[in-house]
Amino acid sequence: MRVLFLHVDYLEYEVTGKALKSIGEIPQERKHGRVEEALVCFLSAEKRDEKDPKAAALAAAKNIEDVAGQLHTKRIALYPYAHLSSDLAAPEPAQAVLAALEAELGKRGYEVHASPFGYYKSFRVSVKGHPLSELSREIVAEATPAVAEEPKEMVNEALKAEQRLVSHWHVLDTQGGFHPLSIEAGRVAGFDFAAHDRLRRFAQYEMAKSREVKEEPPHVRLMQELELVDYEPGSDPGNLRYYPKGRLIKGLLEEFVSQRVREYGAMEVECPVMYDFEHPALKSYLNRFPARQYVVQTPNKRAFLRFSACFGQFLIMKDMVLSYKQLPLSLYELTRYSFRAEQRGELAGLRRLRAFTMPDCHALVTDVAQAKEHMMVRMEVAWKLLQDCGFSLPDDFEVGMRVTEPFWKEHGDFVKAYARRWGKPILIEMWSEQFFYFVLKYEWNFVDANDKAAALTTDQIDTENAKRFGITYADEKGEKQFPYILHLSPSGAVERVLYALLEKAAADIKAGKPPMFPLWLSPTQVRIIPVSGDQLEHARKLLAAFDGVRADLDDTNDTLGKKIRRAEKEWVPYIVVVGKKEIESGKLNVRVRSTKAQEEMTPDRLRKLVMDATAGRPFRPLAENVLISARPIFRG
């Protein structure tokens, strides 16, 4: 069976005549139909469905239920549509499949509208514009002979708890004022957001707890146009492909984050990506961490792909012999990759993925006092890291903090001190009880143009997992104690750093500013453009003056204007135009993207500008050929 899914404002149809002579008459009232706010399924039953119409219907129902669940609709319209396949089932078994499907969806609690089979119909449809409004699937019943017995998605106890836990929302200002929030007439109320509109939008997003993507974020178009990252149709959704320039930026970010964490004092380790479901500590931990797992059946056990570096590092810590004198002590891994089976409707470009690169740094501390003190040390590490990645702090982020009521009552002064250090009001979600393994967790969230938030930096005070995994240290008396564990991701997923940089660039475009990456992340830092072919040889020789700089040469036969426009479209920070005048003077005509100015300078001075601005950052050479004419187009 083949199905085309449309999420519609409405579908309206009118029967115009019989398509099959043998088809029976239908009542007058069935010759016209209209359904609003529905998932419309255009269906073609195929020859292979004739073998077992019931199995085909069950397989189709499962797929329709999956899509309807992502769209949060219980209204389904079934529309027989022969044009989806060239291998159609005969009319009688096709009708049997559709009738069984209608009955099965009804049993599952859906409001089903079925248009007549075997008739010509005219129709009008208004399709919604979000990324999930148009999908197609090929459904093979043979591949799911026992659909009802298929293993269901594993939803752990933490995810179930997240659904039922009642939390209360507040804004904590820098003076310690605590402002309870509520939703009134669809808007968040309880705090004067006049000077904090991004915080208002963040609070609205968090309190609604809706992660579904309604429209494509601006960064998706930019990541594709710049040939950085793209969707991979040959993989599971949420797994992306990186073109050379995108891989260069991602690799530089990975190196920089790891460099900073090592400088902070963490010891780098490497752990497996796959773990045993039946390991007692892991099994317990899974039900305290709100993430959906990828399940893998190995030759001898049921396993899951890691969704963080937590348990790999915990299993190492369990075997370590530690003294209180060695704490705080940190382990670090840059996971490539971590996996979370996020719901399909939540996936959007680089913002939310199923496979992602997560820097995870866990610190063992003796008690809550040391946890609070060391959390602030790690906050400074993350603050400087994100600044050096190109963000303005705290302006570009909003803090969301989750805290249990008992922790707040005992350590509220720490939370207030955190808000003062942050420098602007923060959003607090308070739980009356502890269900997850942490008593406090903060996240630095980037709020994008679509009012969706994505957490980058995060840290947590974990009071449970040392006991769960058997991690101990010897105190002053030589007695074994269970430490607390801090969970820091100093940047959040590396993909989200790139997402936030591109969203910032999209905002700059909207504001009339030239979009650009930080100089150390720019795939090309200097572009040399000869005015004509007469200057090409001199331009080639100029490349040698830019050792340690990502400099390339536009050697194409295009006009000067077209070459400059190409460099501008690629966000090149420094565009060097070389003509007869520049050859004679020994000075370069340099277009500076950040200021839109044109300056004269020597090659040595330009190289020094770049080297000084990128000092202390990782460097990689060009990801593509130095000559523009030799480069392929990755996305035509």
pLDDT of residue 278: 81
Mean pLDDT per block of 10 residues along the chain (636 residues) reads 90 90 84 93 90 90 89 93 85 91 93 92 86 74 43 52 72 96 90 96 86 79 96 91 98 98 98 88 70 80 88 95 97 94 81 94 98 98 98 97 95 97 97 86 95 95 94 97 98 97 96 96 98 95 96 97 97 97 94 95 97 97 98 88
pTM summary value:
0.75
Spatial CB neighbours of 5, under 8 Å, sequence gap ≥ 6: 39, 40, 41, 42, 64, 67, 134, 135, 136, 137
Q: Report whether 498 contacts 250 (CB < 8 A).
A: yes
pLDDT of residue 605: 97
As its CATH architecture, domain 2-149 has 3-Layer(bba) Sandwich (3.50)
- Per CATH, the number for 158-502 is 3.30.930.10
Write the DSSP symbol of residue 537. H
Angle at 417 between CA 196 and CA 408, to 5 degrees: 95
Closest by CA to 290, choosing from 273, 307, 274, 304, is 307
User: Which residues partner with 323 through β-bridges?
Assistant: 474
**Domain parsing of the chain, residue ranges:** 2-149, 158-502, 519-630
CATH top class, domain 519-630: alpha beta
